[in-house]
Amino acid sequence: MTSALSRRWRPRSLLQLVLLAFLMVMLPLAVLMLQAGQALSELSRLADQSARQAVEETRRARTLGALALELERSARQYAVVEQASLLNIYDERLAEFRRLLARQRELLPDDPNVKALSVELDRLAELPGLPLEEFEDRLTDFLPFAEHTEAMRHATNRRIDNRLDVIRARAEGVQTRLWWQTAALVSASLILMLLFTRLIIRPVHQLERRILGIGSGGQAAKRAPVQGPAELVSLDERLDWLSSRLEELEEQKQQFLRHMSHELKTPLASVREGSSLLADGVAGELSDHQREILELIDASGSELQQLIEQLLDYNLLQHNRRLEVERLDLATVVKEVLAKHRLALQQKEMRVDCFDGPLAWRADRTATARILDNLISNAIAYGEDAGQLEIRARVEHERLIVEVANSGEPIPEEDRPRLFEAFYQGRIRRKGALKGSGIGLSVAADCARLQEGTLELVDDPRLAVCFRLTLPRPAPAIAHDTTTPVLSGVQERND
């Protein structure tokens, strides 16, 4: 159900997914910008309106104060000079004061000073009709009138301050709300970003693991299908095709190697059998020159057979990685391998120094023998004539260390990094009529890794070339194994 739902809303292409991710991530930020703009616009409008009202109300309060002073001045001047024009000015200022006070009453409807000023205005409006003596006595009414005017101005200022406090509190509330909205919407954008990143990266990682699996040769039995954009799904299908194609090619390669080994071994066996019959004198006695040519043919056939076996070993090792660990005597294994090369060693006139046994260890007999066989073959092929071959073994810190060293020309530094690569031919040429395959050391290194060990080229103080095989102990240590003598001792000569 989940897979069907995800397939239903999944974008059809990587471009659509990226665009959708961009739009979805930007949507909360756009909402945040819109809300912030609206809040700032509202605060700006409110601040502008309040500023205009504050200026108008402050100006009106100051005008009322100035009118109060002019009323008092006009009245007192009339009491002194008794000019009728002064009363006209007085009436005009009184009417203006009354008009402005009516507007101020809208701002301060419950202010007692405004009500008192209304009463005072009615009393002051009676002055022009009074006799001069009574007019002069009523001039004292301007004192409370001025006090109430000043008190009204202060009340107006307080009203403006209160309004500014309200605007400030509202601005702080808007700021707090914007902070919360910013945190929420930015968090939503981050969550969407992580979600779409996972939607893009997950199929890429699946394809990466698939490619690594194809490259390493290991394919999982059950594999989750790639779910994502159409391009990545199509790439997964292409990888399926590539994997099946590689398996077909691998099978064809295996079949080719099997057929090739059979086709090569059959005529080679006939050649070697014929040379053996000629050497036995079945076709008559041979001259020394003919016998020399026959020995060359037999030696070349033997080397060719060895190359075919190495190639088959390499191919088998690449596909058969099962171990059969058993308890074996390493000295016996070494002597069995040396017996296979006895004739080659005699022809090479090499002196062999082999460690004294027994040396018990748990390992795979076939893989260990294959390592020793390739190392000894390498020493025979590249070592000096009438040189020395040493095979040493010891146990150190629960590890078996076997060293195969020979005299001769040292391996160049530029060849050492690629020494264990398959089919790599170094600068030193193989001695003999037949060229090597370049897979002997690769097979030996793979056999060592198969047993979780290592094979490396190390420096030896006496001999030019020394290979060291290190194998860990695969099972709990056997008590009497640690007391087995492991130092090289008995010398086995091949004259």
For the stretch 392-421, pLDDT in tens is 999 988 899 999 999 988 888 888 888 888
Of 278, 296, 320, which residue is a domain's last? 320
Together in a domain, 180 and 263: no
Q: Is residue 224 part of a domain?
A: no
Of 320, 337, 369, which residue is a domain's last? 320
Q: How far apart are the C-alpha atoms of 274 and 136, rounded to whole Å?
A: 163
pLDDT reported for residue 113? 85
pLDDT at 430 over 80: no
Q: Is residue 379 part of a domain?
A: yes
Q: Is residue 223 part of a domain?
A: no
Together in a domain, 107 and 130: yes
Q: Is residue 220 part of a domain?
A: no
Beta-bridge partner residues of 465: 406
> Please, which pLDDT band fits residue 470 given cuts at 50, 70 and 90?
very high
Whether residue 358 is preceded by a cis peptide bond, meaning omega within 30 degrees of 0, is yes
Together in a domain, 474 and 342: yes
Of 291, 320, 349, which residue is a domain's last? 320
The rounded mean pLDDT for the chain is 79
Q: How far apart are the C-alpha atoms of 331 and 354, rounded to whole Å?
A: 8
Closest CA to 374 of 300, 455, 453: 455
The burial class, CB within 10 Å (0-12 / 13-18 / 19+), for 43 is: middle
- pLDDT tens digits, residue range 314-340? 566 555 556 788 899 999 999 999 988
> Please, which pLDDT band fits residue 265 given cuts at 50, 70 and 90?
low
Q: Is residue 217 part of a domain?
A: no
Together in a domain, 314 and 330: no
Note every long-range contact of 6-10, with CB atoms under 8 Å and residues 24 or more positions apart, other chains counting. Answer: 6/227, 7/227, 10/227, 10/228, 10/229
pLDDT reported for residue 1? 40
- pLDDT tens digits, residue range 195-214? 888 877 887 887 888 788 77
pLDDT reported for residue 377? 87
pLDDT at 16 over 50: yes
Together in a domain, 396 and 463: yes
Q: Is residue 209 part of a domain?
A: no
- pLDDT tens digits, residue range 225-242? 777 677 777 788 888 888
pLDDT at 482 over 60: no
Count up the domains in the chain and report the number: 3
Least confident of 70-84, 438-452, 480-494: 480-494
Q: Greatest CA span in the chain, whole angstroms?
A: 179
Q: How far apart are the C-alpha atoms of 238 and 231, rounded to whole Å?
A: 10
Together in a domain, 303 and 339: no
pLDDT reported for residue 484? 38
Together in a domain, 407 and 438: yes
* Domain span including residue 295: 229-320
pLDDT at 456 over 90: yes
> Please, which pLDDT band fits residue 487 given cuts at 50, 70 and 90?
very low
3-class secondary-structure state, position 174 = helix
Q: How far apart are the C-alpha atoms of 453 and 324, rounded to whole Å?
A: 15
Closest CA to 316 of 261, 266, 362: 261
pLDDT at 436 over 60: no
Q: Are 487 and 353 in contact (CB under 8 A)?
A: no
Q: Is residue 206 part of a domain?
A: no
Residue 292: both structure tokens together: 């020399």
Report the CATH number at residue 343. 3.30.565.10
Q: How far apart are the C-alpha atoms of 337 and 358, rounded to whole Å?
A: 16
Together in a domain, 342 and 463: yes
Together in a domain, 38 and 102: yes
Q: Is residue 216 part of a domain?
A: no
Report the CATH number at residue 260. 1.10.287
Least confident of 105-114, 169-178, 321-330, 473-482: 473-482
Together in a domain, 177 and 75: yes
pLDDT reported for residue 314? 59
pLDDT reported for residue 400? 93
Residue 59: both structure tokens together: 């100006």
Together in a domain, 114 and 178: yes
Residue 34: both structure tokens together: 């819109």
Together in a domain, 309 and 340: no
